[in-house]
Amino acid sequence: MYATRPEARPATVEVSVDGVAVMVPVGASAAAAVLLAGAAAIRETAVSGAPRLPYCMMGVCFDCLAEVDGAPNVQACMVTVAAGMRIARQAGARDALLGEAPR
């Protein structure tokens, strides 16, 4: 019904979400990119494997934990997108949480 005038549209950057290119407004969060991509989930819980998507968008719920540019366990809602950013789903506990046994 209403359309945004082309000159009023925000500039965008291209990121990838699980390997799929997504155009995201400059200044948006990586979690917003996940939602814009229409992903079914961005992480699965370590205990039950239940799917999760970003929920609070303000750093409280941790349902947006994802791998961002190769770094696991990043709160995607607290990261501003940058051109070429790679956001990927993570499943279960990450290596950083499991760690190696002390020697």
H helix runs in 1-103, sequence order = 30-37, 95-98
Query: How far is residue 13's CA from residue 11's CA, in Å, rounded to a whole number?
Result: 7
Give 55 or 91: the residue with its C-beta nearer to ligand FES. Answer: 55
Residues binding ligand FES (CB under 6 A): 31, 54-57, 59-64, 75, 77
Give 23 or 58: the residue with its C-beta nearer to ligand FES. Answer: 58
Residue 79 beta carbon to ligand FES: minimum distance, rounded to whole angstroms: 9
Give 26 or 56: the residue with its C-beta nearer to ligand FES. Answer: 56
In 3D space, the residue among 21, 20, 24 whose CA is nearest the CA of residue 9 turns out to be: 24
- 31-40 b/e with 16+ CB inside 10 Å = b? bbbbbbbebe
Residue 26 beta carbon to ligand FES: minimum distance, rounded to whole angstroms: 20
Residue 54 beta carbon to ligand FES: minimum distance, rounded to whole angstroms: 4
